Structure 1
Amino acid sequence: MRELLNWKIHAFVFVLVCIAEFIGVKSLNIGVGAIAFFPMLYALILGAIISLPRFKILSDKEMDIASKILGISFMLFVAKLGTLMGPSIPQLLDAGLTLTLQEVGHFLGTIVFGLPVALLIGMKREAIGATFSIDREPNLAIIAEKYGADSPESRGAIGVYICGTLFGALYLSLLASLIASIGWFHPISLAMGAGVGSGSMMAAMTGALAIIFPEASDDIAVFAGAANLITTIVGTFVCVVFSLPFTNFLYKHLEPILGRRSRIQTDGEN
């Protein structure tokens, strides 16, 4: 337990957080919308740089300790999330069935479509953690608690989390701008779609939508916030009770088929 009190790791975390918060949120207008850059992105990039082996700033042992601290941090985050659930129940009820049904889209996109693709490209148990959700903080906590922070499932979840942090806000702000420019969907519908369970991604999408629909900017923020709240709270229970067990079920039946196909393709290339 004493190794978790490593002053060097905590000092680096403190410095990185201060630098990232000092830079703050930056946005870039690209005509059809806006691209937003958030402090989490800066912290992740800086953390990746100082952990490069060639710089010898952090040892393998220290990075292993950091992974253990990460698991504890996830537990604290979920505990904080739990304190928000009770007061948020009236807001969830007021949001109605329409917002709640957006979980169906998350289920289809990540599990039904994502898992077969992950197996075809050669992923094993990592595919479970990578596809059972969009892998934001509560989902990482679920995986770390069930399988451990060093498990293949956890590596898959963290990989998607990092990709979401690096590219998620950029990708979704562009996607929201392009879809909004088509004119097929109502601004409120797009706002509800912005609530994917990530604060940075939601902010990127709502910022882009507010530029295109300035007259509905307040409503966009309200509905996106409600959708994000539902995804974060309700989605956590859905992941525990349904998404993760169903992903395991699909993996058990699809891996012998699609996993074998990816192995055959790899052997053929060699």
Structure 2
Amino acid sequence: MARPSNAKIGTRVAIAVTTLCVLVTVGTVYAGALELRIGSFTLVLLPLFFAFVITVAVNLALSWRRPDTAALVWSFAGKILQLLTVVFVVRAGVVLGAALPTIVEAGPAILVQSLGKAGTVLLAFPAALLLGFGRASIGATFSIGREPSIALVTERYGVSGPEGSGVLATYICGTLFGSLFFSALAGVGSAIPLFSSTALAMACGVGSGGMTISCAGSLAHGSRDLPQDEILALATASDVLTYVTTVLLGAFVVLPVLERLYRSPSAVRNRLGSGDPAEAKAPVVASRLVAGSAVTVLVLVTSGWQAVPGASVLLVLAFGVRILGSRTGRFVPTVLWAALVGAALAVPGLPWSAVMLRTMSAVDLLTVATAVLGCVGLCVTIRQLKILRTLSWRAVVVTLLVFAGSFFSSALLAQAVLSLG
């Protein structure tokens, strides 16, 4: 009996992966978030977390029973993830454009404090090296490891390498403990006389809705010098701005610096013989046309019929940005183009902004993020799982240092600018 052709195998894998991602995304979004009360704190688990867990579980089962097929799934899921993250960043850019007046009104402090997001590496990178992360330390510490960070690592390194393992470790730990930890950080910051509530509110914007709300809510609960609404407004504006600063600082500053530091003699001594072996690559079984079709179906179906116009515009822009990024990626990363294009759609005062904002608002950002994380779960390889198991408690320690470095660096910069004013 003749074996199926490479194209047929690729099409079957594409259909299976797309169908699974659609079902998981729709199911988890419909089920909604889960709130867990831990004493006076509330841990919120969003649909994107459950989408990630479900697809990882399916991935594990497939890897155990059919490792050859699992390798094909990793390969195809990685291809659609590259495009799907561009779709997400374009949609997030729309939020940034709409919030631009709030960011401008907040003054230079909110812009300067956003540079503090690079403070993740101050404590975390040396600790990660000492704890034996190897090259995973680069992905784990260059940011707080949310969706834009995954997009940047996916574009630059691929999600299956050690850098991808690092950013996934930070993402998983952040999802589990981030809201609780940022609530605690807000309380610690409030107890330090150096910081005003304004500076701390700006520092709460970390590019994650759940963490930002937890931080700002905790800060607002104990604040005496700033109204609750103003704290939430500053935190939200900073949160949106962080989407772009993560890409800018990560691509042009933090990742290049970490690459250089990783090759330094002191870093070499602290790698503990990890070796960072390369992941074996699966054969390419699907064309770009098939991958693009899969993303189109995934976005249109999960967004719902009422969002078809906005989703269609989003897809066209994402495809265009992807082509542009393939030509300029050496100098300007694709995700930066995506954020700028999205922002340009919704900047108040432009002739098309009102129509585009209304059209794009029908596409729920959380739903797109859930689809991204569902796809990420299918990209997790056996080698990555071994790395995460090896890192164990060390991943939690490094993640907490990443969060603390980001929060206090941002607060210090914001307070310095406010003091000068």
Normalized per residue, the structure richer in helix is: 1
Unaligned runs of 5+ in 1: 266-270
Q: 1:89–1:181: structure 2 CA closer, same or farther, 3 Å change rule?
A: closer
CA contact (8 A) 2:121 2:141 kept: yes
Residue aligning to 1:257:
266
Percent identity between matched residues is 31
CA contact (8 A) 2:179 2:215 kept: yes
Total equivalences in the alignment: 261
Give the letter for the 2:178 counterpart.
G
Residue aligning to 1:268:
none
With the length of structure 2 as denominator, give the TM-score of the two structures.
Answer: 0.54
How big is each residue's C-alpha offset from its partner over 1:134-156, in whole Å with a ceiling of 9 and x where there is no partner?
22222222222222333332232
Residue aligning to 1:47:
55
User: 1:201 and 2:188 equivalent?
Assistant: no
Residue aligning to 1:225:
236
Q: 1:96–1:190: structure 2 CA closer, same or farther, 3 Å change rule?
A: same
Residue aligning to 1:164:
174
Please give the residue correspondences for 1:25-174 in structure 2 after superposition, counting only pairs within 5 Å.
25-53=33-61, 56=65, 59-60=69-70, 61-84=72-95, 86-108=97-119, 110-174=120-184
Give the letter for the 2:236 counterpart.
G
- State the shift of 1:205 in Å: 2.3
User: 1:7 and 2:15 equivalent?
Assistant: yes
Q: 1:88–1:162: structure 2 CA closer, same or farther, 3 Å change rule?
A: same
CA contact (8 A) 1:148 1:154 kept: yes
- State the shift of 1:180 in Å: 6.7
User: 1:244 and 2:255 equivalent?
Assistant: yes
Larger Rg: 2
Unaligned runs of 5+ in 2: 1-6, 275-421
- State the shift of 1:8 in Å: 2.2
Q: 1:86–1:40: structure 2 CA closer, same or farther, 3 Å change rule?
A: closer
Report the secondary structure of 2:227's partner residue: helix
Q: 1:147–1:30: structure 2 CA closer, same or farther, 3 Å change rule?
A: closer
CA contact (8 A) 1:33 1:208 kept: no
- State the shift of 1:87 in Å: 4.8
Across the aligned residues of Structure 1 and Structure 2, the Cα RMSD in angstroms comes to 3.2
- State the shift of 1:75 in Å: 2.2
Report the secondary structure of 1:101's partner residue: helix
- Structure number with greater CO (CA < 8 Å, separation at least 6) is 2
How big is each residue's C-alpha offset from its partner over 1:161-199, in whole Å with a ceiling of 9 and x where there is no partner?
2222233223323443x4377475544433222201112
- State the shift of 1:23 in Å: 3.1
Residue aligning to 1:21:
29
Q: Distance in 2 between matches of 1:102 and 1:138?
A: 18
Q: 1:174–1:36: structure 2 CA closer, same or farther, 3 Å change rule?
A: farther
